[in-house]
Structure 1
Amino acid sequence: MHNGIIIGAGPAGLTAAVTCAENGLDVIVLDEYMRAGGRLLGQLYEQPDGKWWNGIKESERLFQQAVDLGVQFRFGTAVSNIEYLDDMWVIYTEKEVLQTSNLLLATGAAESPVPVPGWTLPGVMSVGAAQVMTNVHRVKPGERGVIIGINVLSAAIAMELQLAGVEVASLTLPRMSEVTDVEAHPKEVMDSLLHVSHMAPSPFVKLGSKFMKGDFMKKMGAAFYPKNGVKMWDIPIQLRKAVIEIYGENQVEGVTLATINSKGDVVPGTEENIAADFVCIAGGLYPLAELAAIAGCPFYLVEELGGYVPLHSEEMETTLDGLYVAGNITGIEGAKVAAAQGHVAGLSIARNNGIRSLDYKIMDAIQHVKTTRDHAYIQFHPQIQKGRSKIQDQWNTYQRNVQEV
């Protein structure tokens, strides 16, 4: 039996493992991938201070630090079930059954691609898959591509593809439907685009973020947004065009675009074809929380956090004894915030194992999470603070109810 088991070897899981091991705990980390890093592996971008954030190097640093501290890793290991028996968490994998009194779920997030006619053709992939191919495996997904879906994730990955010498012909919208309502609405997407305007060299986008504060001005912005789009890193961003279909015989050959009005409706007779040998679909990320559901955690739908998240405290505790969460399972944010949360979780686990004098360290670590969030280069959801407050309010209500009982 181990002092702690961590499911997920991304930034949250790795940092939690290091923190636990530094406090003398015997820790094991499980991950279904063949190496440590999680979504860190695909990240490569220039920070405001001019330094480059290289996710592969960062994950290698954390992994080596954990190994040097005696942390055990089980890669290529999928977890099929977890349950709480006799005051222990039992973790079932294909190879073995493990037990621990402290279990951390750091399972991260998954992509939610938007369905587009023709999306089953070879050469169509999620935007995250293109990122992994390019930044992790150093394989180009193609020579010329189109990204369907304009959001923080797709904008960042488009930049990374450009750095790798891949031509991104356009970032554009999916066609409006019941499934693609928000993703296909120019005004909603404008809000998201302006949120990352500091990353864009386009004067139109930068200026837009300064005066499009009110709802009326945002509607005006969507209405008068140039039909040919504007450019970020020489990539056309087209809020007035939508992909009608992806076409090709045996593989992707291109996409059919049409002009849309400010409400997202297609203007008949405006269809045009754009040649491409691959297409990325970007529908955003959602917390990967199935294991928390299996465990019996209560969930809340918090749109500002990306979907359903398990109820948890700032100390990364859940309502279940010895079960913790950290990283994107608690809400969609960047790797640095996930790592900061992992540090908090590691300290909480150590305290639960009897390590004393950690209260002040935990308070400092919680504050570091907030500071890291405030200084994040990009936020996947503009109202992340509102989402965090909602979960904290629910946790406070839970605590009061427990005390009353």
Structure 2
Amino acid sequence: MDNAIIIGAGPAGLTAAVTCAEKGLEVVVIDEYMRAGGRLLGQLYEEPNGNWWNGIKESNKLYKKAVDLGVNFHLNTAVNNIENSNGIWTIYTERDTFHTPSLLLATGAAEAPIPVPGWTLPGVMSVGAAQVMTNVHRVKPGERGVIIGVNVLSAAIAMELQLAGVEVASLTLPKTNQMTQDSGKPKEVLDSLLHVSHMAPSPFIRYGSKLMKNDFMKKFGVKFYPKKGVKMWDIPIQLRKAVTEIYGENEVEGVTLATINADGEVVSGSEEHIPVDFVCIAGGLYPLAELAAVAGCPFYLVEELGGYVPLHNERMETPLVGLYVAGNITGIEGAKVAAAQGRTAGLSMAHYAGMDELDGEIKNSIEWTEQTRDSAHIQFHPKIEAGRKKILKQWDAYQSNKERSVVTNRQGGIT
């Protein structure tokens, strides 16, 4: 039996593994991908101080450190089921069955698709797939493409594609319908775009974004937003255009682009054809939390965190004894925040294993996570702090209800 098992070898899982191993625990990491790193592998961007954040280098450093500390990795291994019996977690995979008193779920996030007519054509992919092809496998997704969906993730990846010599003809919106919802409405999209405006090379754009902080200016900005878009990194960001169709015989040949009004409605007769050889769809990310559901962990819908997240506290503990969560399973944030959460989870797991005098380190780690969040270069959700407070409020309510139930059962003679 292993002291600790971690499912997920992304920034949270790798950091937790290193932390546990440094405290003397025997650690196993399981991941379905062939290589450790998770979403770190595709990340490449310039930080405000001019340094480049290279996710591949960061993941390699963490992986090597974990291996040197004796962490046992099972990559290319999918987890089919987890269950708890008498305080021991059993993890089932296609090859082996593992047992541990302490289990961390660091499963990350998945992309939410946006349905667009023609999206089944070869050459249509998620924006994350284009990022992995380009940054990890060094394969261009195409020569010239369009990204449908304007958000923090797609804006950052568009820049990465440009760096790789791939032409991005446009970042534009999907046609508004019941499925696309806010992602097809210019004002809602402008909100998310403001959170990457600091990355724009143009001082005009950076200054203009500061004027968009109040609601009146946002409405004004959308109404008079140029129909040809505003360029960031020489890529047109078109909030008054929407893709109504992806077309081609046997593969992507182009998209039909139409002008939309401030409410996201298509202006009849404004359609034009844009030739491209690939299309990326960017619907955002949501927490990948199925295994927490299988384990029986309570969930709450917190839109500011990206969707349904398992209940947890600042120590990354869930209500289920010996079960921990860290990284994007707890809410959509960047790799540095995920790593900080992974350290906290690793310390909590070590404490649960019987190592005393870790409360100070855990407190410092929680504070470091908050500082990392506050200084994050990119925020995927503008109200992440409000989301974190909501889940902690739910945690307090859950614990209070649990304590009341214990008292009631005792008074009723139930033990």
Shift in Å, 1:203: 4.6
Counterparts of 2:207 and 2:249 in 1: how far apart (Å)? 43
8 A contact 1:109–1:286 mirrored in 2: yes
Give, in whole Å, the separation in 2 of the partners of 1:332 and 1:95. 31
Correspondence for 2:26: 26
AA aligned opposite 2:284: G
8 Å CA contact 1:204, 1:230 repeated in 2? no
1:120 aligns with 2:120: yes
2:384 is matched with which residue? 384
Q: How does 1:181-330 map to 2 (within 5 A)?
A: 181-330=181-330
Offset, 1:93:
0.3
Q: Distance in 1 between matches of 2:49 and 2:201?
A: 16
- Asked whether the 8 Å contact 1:287–1:332 carries over to 2, the reply is yes
Inter-partner Cα distance in structure 2 for 1:159 and 1:327: 24
Q: CA deviation at 1:200?
A: 1.1
Deviation at residue 401 of structure 1 after TM alignment: 2.1
Q: Structure 2: which amino acid aligns with 1:315?
A: R
* CA distance in 2 between partners of 1:215 and 1:48 (Å): 27
Q: Could you give the per-residue CA deviations for residues 229-281 of structure 1, whole angstroms, max 9, x where no partner exists?
A: 00000000000000010000100011000000000000000000111000000
* Conservation of the 8 A alpha-carbon contact between 1:328 and 1:338: yes
Question: Whole-Å Cα distance in 1 between the matches of residues 142 and 239 of structure 2?
Answer: 24
Secondary structure at 1:56 match in 2: helix
Match of 1:393 in 2: 393
Question: Is the counterpart of residue 137 in structure 1 residue 137 in structure 2?
Answer: yes
Structure 2: distance between partners of 1:277 and 1:231: 21
Q: Aligned ranges for residues 3-14 of structure 1 at < 5 Å?
A: 3-14=3-14
Whole-angstrom CA distance in 2 between matches of 1:198 and 1:95: 47
Q: Contact conserved, 1:300 with 1:309, CA < 8 A, in 2?
A: yes
Distance, in Å, in 1 between the alignment partners of 2:199 and 2:315 is 32
Shift of 1:202: 3.6
- 2:332 partner SS: coil
What secondary structure does 1:171 align onto? strand
Residue 184 of structure 2 aligns to which amino acid in structure 1?
A: A
In the alignment, which residue of structure 2 is the partner of 1:95?
Answer: 95
Most deviating of 250-259 and 196-205: 196-205
Q: Distance in 2 between matches of 1:279 and 1:322?
A: 43
SS at match of 1:91: strand
Question: Aligned Cα RMSD in Å?
Answer: 0.8
Provide Cα deviations, 1:95-131, integer angstroms capped at 9, x if missing partner. Answer: 0111100000000000001000000000000000000
Q: Which residue of 2 aligns with 1:355?
A: 355
Do structure 1's residue 154 and structure 2's residue 158 form an aligned pair?
no
Question: Are 2:192 and 1:165 aligned?
Answer: no
State the alpha-carbon separation in 2 of the partners of residues 192 and 121 from structure 1: 29
For each residue in 1:354-373, what CA deviation from the matched residue of structure 2 results, as whole angstroms up to 9, or x when unmatched? 01110000000000000000
- SS in structure 1 of the partner of residue 182 of structure 2: coil
Q: Contact 1:144–1:276 at 8 Å: present in 2 too?
A: yes
Deviation of 1:301 (Å): 0.4
**By how many angstroms is 1:22 displaced?**
0.2
Residue type of the alignment partner of 1:138: R
Aligned-residue offset at 1:204:
5.0
Q: Specify the SS of the correspondent of 1:268.
A: coil
CA distance in 1, matches of 2:136, 2:200: 25
Per-residue CA deviation, residues 329-375 of structure 1 (Å, 9 max, x unaligned), is 00000000000000000000000000111000000000000000000
* Post-superposition offset of 1:12: 0.2
Aligned mates of 1:301, 1:200 — CA distance in 2:
33
Tell me, what secondary structure is at the counterpart of 2:184? coil
2:150 and 2:204 map into 1 onto residues whose CA distance is 16
- Could you tell which deviates more after superposition, 270-279 or 191-200? 191-200
- Unaligned runs of 5+ residues in structure 2 are 407-415
Residues 132-170 of structure 1 deviation map (CA, whole Å, 9 limit, x = unaligned): 000000000000010000000000000000000000000
Structure 1: gaps (5+ residues)? none
How many residue pairs get aligned? The number is: 405
Aligned partners of 2:207 and 2:225: how far apart in 1?
13
Distance 2:382 2:290 in 1: 25
| TM, length-normalised to structure 1 | 0.99
Aligned-partner Cα distance in 2 for 1:382–1:401:
31
| Corresponding residue number in structure 1 for 2:46 | 46
Shift of 1:87: 1.4
| Whole-angstrom distance in 1 between the partners of 2:379 and 2:4 | 31
CA drift of 1:209 comes to: 2.0
